[in-house]
């Protein structure tokens, strides 16, 4: 039995029914000797254990509890009693555990053991301290996480929540205290769960995920834009779950949308080019301007392939010079868009950014679509050219008309005036003219005067037809057609003239008359036509009346070059445009030429001057 007791690590003593020690083990003796106990204490035999405990119980509650437990063991009221108590040495803290059990069999007594549990107690105390500190840190961390506007949570591999900060209430209207234990589907909803499932499956394989999502507010009145990040929680190579961070990027998104809208309005794109590699990243608007997608090669070589063949060599040489020398890129050039084959004019601007050693690193700039401006400039250039040519032709026409007028005056008026002077001189020289001779001279003078009047009337009609003032526009056009038809009997003509047409504006009447004159002249000189049809009528629009003139022949038809080069057509177009009208010259399917004119006309009857 002694061998069994000596093999134990505890200090053991066997007590008889009166509580007196009858035997102790080696650990008991060693403890007594190492702590300054007497030889009798180290031997232990014959010492009244309960009496020692009873004396200590008078002032120590733990000793009193130990006394009561031992007495109950000896009385057979308990089969096991244990108690932990401190027993400090002068140099350190110590804790022991007292355990007592009755002797087996008929012998009365008990076995008392004292076990050194100092290491365990110190470990428990350290663990308690760590637990307190951990709870304090957890509280602080929770407070920090709850104070941020971003949603932060943790979901295990079964997609059950383990933590959710207070931002979940703001985003989803859910009390964060109720979220732990719920499946992610219950929190974010079925539709959003379906959209996020590919990212969830990917993060559970250990791959971090980042994506954007539009999230309606709990009341459904607004939408917030979120940048979501899924971060895998990997322990010993195994994914235990994932962390979730949802940041509100609504203000950034609104700014991006405003910038994108501004770029769309200005047809302006932005880019950043890394000069060492030649790779560039452009805004979505820049890709739209260039007619390319994300799959297109965004490099200097790829940009070069977009350039118009006529501009490619010069633009590439200029870009190489800017890259080599640094500085500012500022050039207009054309591209051919791959998406639709359209040719677009672009204006590229860029500033070079340098490293610490002065090495060019990147170029940051913009590209603007200036096609409309270029088209307008070209149209302006063409218009200026046409106007210049028109002015030159007008001057030439004026000089020709002046020459014709001078020739008409010389050939017609001068001849008749000379005759009148000759007749007057003959009468002066004849001292006694007879009556018949006077009558003949007078008749000759009258014939010359009539010829002078006809020439003057013809010249005045050419300058401003009197019929425009004396009659209506329909009558004037009809008279013009009658004279023209007599001059060109080989051409059959037919007219539909609105005899009740009222045209108060003199400029409109003159324009219609001159346009008809020009059309008839062109048909006679160029069309080789056999038939001509003319329509002059009113047309009522919702807010104003208009005048409609159509002249059509069955001749050879007008070509595109003649439409833009002929002085007559240019003059017609200028007249119509100056009055706010519309002129169309076309080749109908059946052949010939069709001139259609629409002019504004109030259509009111002219005032008589009588109220």
pLDDT digits (tens, 9 = 90+) for 245-273: 999 998 888 888 888 888 888 889 999 99
pLDDT value at 447 more than 90: no
Q: Tell me the backbone φ, ψ of residue 291, rounded to 5 degrees.
A: 70, 35
How high is the pLDDT of residue 561? 58
- Cβ density class 556-590: b for 16+ within 10 Å, e for less: ebbeeeeeeebebbbbbbbbbeebebebebeeeee
The number of domains in the chain is 5
Q: How many C-beta atoms lie closer than 10 Å to residue 307's C-beta? A: 19
Quote the CA–CA distance of 429 and 443 in Å, as a whole number.
Answer: 18
**Does residue 45 fall inside a structural domain?**
yes
Q: Are residues 476 and 594 in the same domain?
A: yes
- Range in 218-232, 370-384, 405-419 with the lowest mean pLDDT: 405-419
Residue of 63 and 539 predicted with greater confidence: 63
pLDDT value at 462 more than 80: no
How high is the pLDDT of residue 73? 93
Of the pLDDT bands very low, low, confident and very high (cuts 50, 70, 90), residue 544 is low
Q: Are residues 569 and 546 in the same domain?
A: yes
**Does residue 533 fall inside a structural domain?**
yes
How high is the pLDDT of residue 604? 45
How high is the pLDDT of residue 602? 72
**Does residue 606 fall inside a structural domain?**
no
Last residue of some domain: 191, 219, 248? 248
CA distances for 213 relative to 227, 247, 536, angstroms: 7, 10, 66
Q: What is the CATH number of the domain that holds 517?
A: 3.30.565.10
CA 515 to chain centre: 51
Q: Name the residue range of residue 109's domain.
A: 2-116
Q: Are residues 234 and 257 in the same domain?
A: no
- Range in 30-44, 85-99, 301-315, 340-354 with the lowest mean pLDDT: 30-44
pLDDT value at 438 more than 60: yes
Percent with pLDDT over 90 in the chain: 48
pLDDT value at 606 more than 50: no
Instruction: Choose from 98-107, 264-273, 307-316, 379-388 the range with maximum mean pLDDT.
Output: 307-316
Choose among 285, 281, 258: nearest CA to 346: 285
Q: Measured at the alpha carbon of residue 401, what is the angle toward residues 395 and 404, in degrees to the nearest 5? A: 145
pLDDT value at 610 more than 70: no
How high is the pLDDT of residue 349? 94
Q: Are residues 406 and 443 in the same domain?
A: yes
Q: Are residues 232 and 267 in the same domain?
A: no
Q: Are residues 154 and 64 in the same domain?
A: no
3-state secondary structure 312-369: HHHHHHHHHHHHHHCCEEEEEEEEECCCCCCEEEEEEEEEEEECCCCCEEEEEEEEEE
Q: 3-state SS of the chain: helix, strand, coil percent to 5?
A: 50, 25, 25
pLDDT value at 470 more than 80: no
Q: Are residues 276 and 363 in the same domain?
A: yes
pLDDT value at 41 more than 80: no
**Does residue 438 fall inside a structural domain?**
yes
Question: Per-residue pLDDT tens for 229-238?
Answer: 999 999 999 9
Q: Are residues 454 and 469 in the same domain?
A: no
Q: What is the mean pLDDT of residues 433-453?
A: 76
How high is the pLDDT of residue 605? 41
How high is the pLDDT of residue 571? 80
Of the pLDDT bands very low, low, confident and very high (cuts 50, 70, 90), residue 99 is very high
CA 281 to chain centre: 15
- Range in 30-44, 227-241, 252-266, 560-574 with the lowest mean pLDDT: 560-574
Mean pLDDT over each residue of the chain, to the nearest integer: 85
Q: Are residues 472 and 596 in the same domain?
A: yes
pLDDT value at 224 more than 50: yes
How high is the pLDDT of residue 89? 83
Residue of 227 and 607 predicted with greater confidence: 227
**Does residue 131 fall inside a structural domain?**
no
> For residues 539 and 598, is the Cβ–Cβ distance under 8 A?
yes
Residue with tokens 């009390």: 175
Q: Are residues 68 and 90 in the same domain?
A: yes
pLDDT value at 496 more than 50: yes
pLDDT value at 603 more than 60: no
Q: What is the mean pLDDT of residues 73-90?
A: 91
Last residue of some domain: 430, 462, 494? 462
**Does residue 20 fall inside a structural domain?**
yes
**Does residue 187 fall inside a structural domain?**
yes
Quote the CA–CA distance of 16 and 76 in Å, as a whole number.
Answer: 13
Q: At 111, is the secondary structure helix, strand, or coil?
A: strand
Of the pLDDT bands very low, low, confident and very high (cuts 50, 70, 90), residue 607 is very low
**Does residue 134 fall inside a structural domain?**
no
- Range in 10-19, 459-468, 501-510, 570-579 with the lowest mean pLDDT: 459-468
Q: Tell me the backbone φ, ψ of residue 469, rounded to 5 degrees.
A: -95, -30
How high is the pLDDT of residue 128? 92
pLDDT value at 503 more than 60: yes
Last residue of some domain: 315, 342, 369? 369
Residue of 408 and 342 predicted with greater confidence: 342
Question: Per-residue pLDDT tens for 476-491?
Answer: 899 899 999 999 999 9
Q: Are residues 240 and 261 in the same domain?
A: no
Q: At 93, is the secondary structure helix, strand, or coil?
A: coil
Beta-ladder partners of 209: 230
Four-CA torsion 431, 436, 437, 438, nearest 10 degrees: 70
Quote the CA–CA distance of 317 and 357 in Å, as a whole number.
Answer: 25
Q: Are residues 356 and 380 in the same domain?
A: no
Q: What is the CATH number of the domain that holds 41?
A: 3.30.450.20
> For residues 484 and 448, is the Cβ–Cβ distance under 8 A?
no
How high is the pLDDT of residue 21? 92
């Amino acid at each position: 039995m002694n061998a069994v007791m000596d093999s134990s690590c505890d200090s053991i003593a066997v007590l008889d029914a009166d509580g007196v020690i009858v035997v102790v083990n080696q650990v008991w003796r060693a403890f007594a000797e190492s702590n300054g106990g007497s030889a009798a204490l180290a031997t232990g035999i014959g010492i009244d254990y309960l009496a020692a405990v009873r004396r200590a119980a008078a002032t120590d509650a733990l000793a009193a509890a130990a006394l009561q437990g031992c007495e109950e063991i000896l009385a057979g009221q308990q089969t096991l009693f244990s108690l932990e108590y401190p027993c400090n040495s002068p140099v350190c803290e110590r804790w022991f555990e007292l355990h007592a059990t009755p002797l087996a069999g008929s012998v009365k007594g008990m076995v008392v053991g004292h076990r050194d549990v100092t290491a365990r107690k110190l470990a428990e105390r350290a663990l308690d301290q760590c637990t307190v500190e951990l709870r304090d840190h957890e509280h602080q961390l929770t407070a920090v996480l709850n104070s941020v506007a971003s949603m932060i949570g943790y979901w295990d591999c079964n997609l059950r929540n383990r933590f959710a900060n207070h931002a979940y209430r703001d985003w989803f209207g859910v009390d964060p205290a109720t979220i732990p234990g719920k499946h992610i589907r219950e929190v974010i909803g079925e539709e959003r769960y379906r959209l996020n499932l590919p990212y969830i499956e990917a993060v559970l394989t250990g791959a971090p995920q980042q994506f954007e999502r539009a999230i309606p507010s709990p009341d459904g009145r607004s939408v917030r834009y979120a940048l979501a990040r899924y971060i895998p929680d990997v322990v010993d190579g195994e994914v235990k779950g994932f962390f979730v961070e949802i940041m509100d990027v609504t203000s950034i998104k609104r700014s991006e949308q405003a910038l994108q809208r501004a770029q769309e309005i200005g047809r302006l794109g932005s880019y950043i080019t890394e000069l060492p590699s030649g790779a560039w990243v452009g805004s979505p608007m820049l890709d739209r301007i260039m007619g390319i997608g994300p799959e297109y090669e965004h490099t200097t070589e790829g940009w070069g392939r977009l350039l118009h063949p006529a501009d490619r060599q010069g633009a590439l040489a200029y870009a190489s010079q800017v890259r080599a020398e640094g500085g500012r890129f500022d050039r207009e050039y054309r591209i051919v868009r791959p998406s639709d084959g359209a040719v677009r004019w672009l204006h590229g601007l860029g500033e070079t950014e340098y490293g610490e050693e002065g090495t060019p690193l990147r170029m940051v700039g913009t590209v603007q679509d200036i096609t409309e401006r270029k088209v307008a400039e070209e149209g302006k250039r063409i218009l200026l050219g046409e106007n210049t040519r028109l002015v030159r032709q007008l001057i030439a026409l004026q000089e020709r008309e002046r020459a014709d007028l001078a020739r008409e005056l010389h050939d017609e008026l001068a001849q008749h005036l000379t005759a009148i002077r000759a007749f007057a001189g003959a009468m002066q020289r004849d001292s006694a003219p007879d009556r018949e001779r006077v009558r003949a001279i007078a008749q000759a003078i009258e014939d010359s005067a009539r010829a002078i009047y006809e020439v003057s009337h013809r010249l005045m009609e050419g300058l401003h037809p009197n019929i425009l003032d004396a009659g209506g526009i329909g009558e004037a056009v009809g008279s013009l057609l009658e004279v023209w038809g007599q001059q060109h009997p080989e051409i059959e003509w037919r007219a539909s003239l609105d005899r009740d047409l009222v045209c108060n504006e003199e400029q409109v009447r003159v324009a219609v008359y001159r346009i008809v004159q020009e059309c008839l002249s062109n048909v006679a000189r160029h069309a080789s036509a056999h038939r001509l049809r003319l329509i002059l009528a009113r047309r009522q629009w919702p807010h104003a009346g208009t005048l409609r003139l159509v002249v059509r022949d069955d001749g050879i038809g007008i070509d595109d070059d003649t439409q833009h080069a002929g002085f007559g057509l240019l003059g017609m177009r200028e007249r119509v445009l100056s009055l706010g009208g519309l002129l169309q010259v076309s080749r109908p399917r059946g052949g010939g030429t069709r001139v259609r004119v629409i002019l504004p006309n109030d259509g009111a009857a002219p005032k008589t001057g009588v109220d």
